Chain A
């Protein structure tokens, strides 16, 4: 039997001042909250930058805020902040904090690795952002700072990899006795799938970045110098990589829906399959392949064999992951059909977020049809933003849902539900106008010299308004969360009448989570304990 220490003494925080405790903590709940808190800051910064770019797009000649040279860097900063600054840490943070509780474990696997992952990620993100501020980053003018951006990206990737490893190994090795993988909560399963997807894709990103870094630093012979940075590593800030990042969010949906609906999840095993199917997007990600569909208008029957040969990889890499998303939506609706759910903040957030992800995914498929002529247009932003906002919105729902478990206090439904509706408005404003502008061939950068007879200003103003709405909703949510978690209503240990193990311990949980080891006999262990069919015997 191994005797590797993975648990800290329980009295560490009692004798140490608060700041050093947070700086050195390996408690998965604190590491999770560090991830979540930092991601809020990155979200607000990313949205402010996005507003700057979209505001200038309304009329690039009149509203000159950014120099032409800095636009690619600011766009890169927006994507970096929203993707690796917000979506990744928000969902990793929730996973690190909640998954061990759902597993009935005292701690996560390799807790120090997860904590080191947070600090490594934060250092990498800081280096990358500092380089962009100093005229580095993609297409940057300062070569040394472009190198710093690449080095920061490698460090950031290592941090994500370390944390994802901790989550995956936690799920694989620290489940309570009797909890086979199919008895694990869906958020745990989706965290495992999402973490494994990151573990398989992030090294490819890191390896490519090492090549670009060495080439840019020394040779500048093969990877296009400053302007080639996005060409080689930009895929990590776009589709289908964003699908992979959203996988844990699907688990939040599938946990929140049955709990709030006070029923069992319909077709539970199919839900496991649906989440797993989305991970097929990893294939397209690691091969860095975007299979497009040459449709050739009405002549589809000509060369039908060739076209079917094109269609198969297109379906595998692009359509199959979307089928998984549709499966999650269908199972959620099927679950809600059999009950009358209380309209609550978590449910509202997760359903709106799921719609956002589906909207972006559907638009992604349309954008890959060559005949649509959308390549290189602003349409791509209309794919990226709803998927990203959708994942963020679901994560907000997850914070409303599990916040009581992490902070011991509840977020008011009345205050939070309007914010979910604002997020829905933002998703609509930041997708549909982009689609219209994309079909009008508006390019991805600024719009100087772009000829279009339609109301181009209107579409760009609407997208700008969408980012403003999302910023306001985010600020309000952060403020509400801070207020609720410091002076809100004290939550009970099981405020949602849950069925999984995280609700079996106190809110917030003690340092080692559970007083005992619970034997699991079904997929709803806490419901079994409540009904008396299981007494939570010690293993």
Chain B
């Protein structure tokens, strides 16, 4: 065997940041693929006459009313989450433990509010997944997005516990956490436009 010198500390390579970027790309493909399938079904739907909008695609049943305000609040909430997550990065880089913790806490609270808004939408719409193709696909797409949001909440909790637990040098973790929220916001923008605006 060739004799090799003893080990030294490997150079840091931002492993967590790169891993989060890869996971975010996978998440975007997941939501992108689901939106593409949604649009295919919508495009293939027959045309019907609407009292207000003339001839439209007979895709979303006429009796369904989507609470658009709540959907818009979700989008705005996610934009705020991005600001909070970036605030956490800014504070962590300045070694400001209090503000980092506060930013991560607000991120978690905002996420809970967004999930709450999603549940509000489901209950207000008052339809079941078994009522038709639109319904089942609506629940599949928004449910998947909610799972991703909850994974973001877990990420926030892990970042907060590790940082506030004393690992204040782990700025990369907080940065990667912010990156994940950027990906989630981008994914939700697609969901918001395709499902809540275009329907």
- Which positions in A face B, CB cutoff 8 Å? 1-4, 6, 105-106, 109-110, 161, 165, 168-169, 172-174, 177, 196, 199-208, 210-211, 213-215, 217-219, 221-223, 286-287, 493, 504-506, 512, 514-518, 526, 529-530, 536-539
| Distance in angstroms between the alpha carbons of A214 and B16 in the assembled complex | 33
- A202 and B26: CB pair below 8 A? yes
Given the complex, which residues of A lie within 8 Å of B140, measured CB to CB?
A: 210-211, 213-215
> Can you offer 9 A-B residue contacts whose CB atoms are under 8 A?
A2-B173, A203-B30, A214-B140, A215-B136, A219-B129, A219-B132, A222-B132, A493-B2, A516-B4
Partner of A536, one of B5, B12, B13: B5
Q: Using Cβ atoms and an 8 Å threshold, which residues of chain A touch B129?
A: 214, 217-219
Q: By the criterion CB–CB under 8 Å, are A222 and B26 in contact?
A: no
Closest to A222 in B: B133
C-alpha gap A506/B1 in the complex (Å): 6
Residues of B within 8 A of A177 (CB): 11
How many A-B residue pairs have C-beta atoms within 8 angstroms? Tell me.
Answer: 159
Q: Are A514 and B7 in contact (CB under 8 A)?
A: yes
Known contacts A1-B12, A165-B22, A536-B2: A286-B29 contact under CB 8 Å: yes
Q: Is the CB of A222 within 8 A of B170?
A: no
> From A4, which residue of chain B is reached at the shortest CB distance?
B16
**Min distance, Cβ B22 to any Cβ of chain A, angstroms:** 5
Known: A169-B15, A172-B18, A221-B132. A200 touches B6 (CB 8 A): no
**Pairwise interchain contact A2-B16, C-beta atoms closer than 8 A:** yes
Task: Say yes or no: A516 contacts B7, CB within 8 Å.
Answer: yes
Q: Are B8 and A204 in contact (CB under 8 A)?
A: no
Give chain B's interface secondary structure class.
helix
B14 closest partner in A (C-beta): A173
Q: Which residues of A contact B30 (CB under 8 A)?
A: 203-204, 206-207
Q: Do A214 and B8 have beta carbons less than 8 Å apart?
A: no
Inter-chain CA distance A504–B11, complex, in Å, is 20
The reply to whether the CB of B172 lies closer than 8 angstroms to some CB of chain A is: yes
Contact of B15 among A174, A199, A208, A215 (CB under 8 A): A174
A204 to B129, CA, bound (A): 21
Instruction: Indicate if the CB atoms of B26 and A203 lie closer than 8 Å.
Output: yes
Q: Mark B144-185, 1 if CB is under 8 A from A, else 0.
A: 100000000000000000000001011011000000000000
Does B37 make an interface contact (CB < 8 A)? yes
Q: Do A211 and B37 touch across chains, with their CB atoms under 8 A apart?
A: yes
Given contacts A207-B37, A210-B140, contact A218 B22 (CB under 8 A): no
Specify which chain A residues have a CB less than 8 angstroms from the CB of B32 in the assembled complex.
Answer: 204
Q: Are B128 and A200 interface neighbours, CB within 8 A?
A: no
Most chain B CB inside 10 Å of its own CB: which residue of A3, A174, A211: A211
> Given A1-B169, A204-B29, A222-B41 in contact, is the A515-B136 Cβ separation under 8 Å?
no
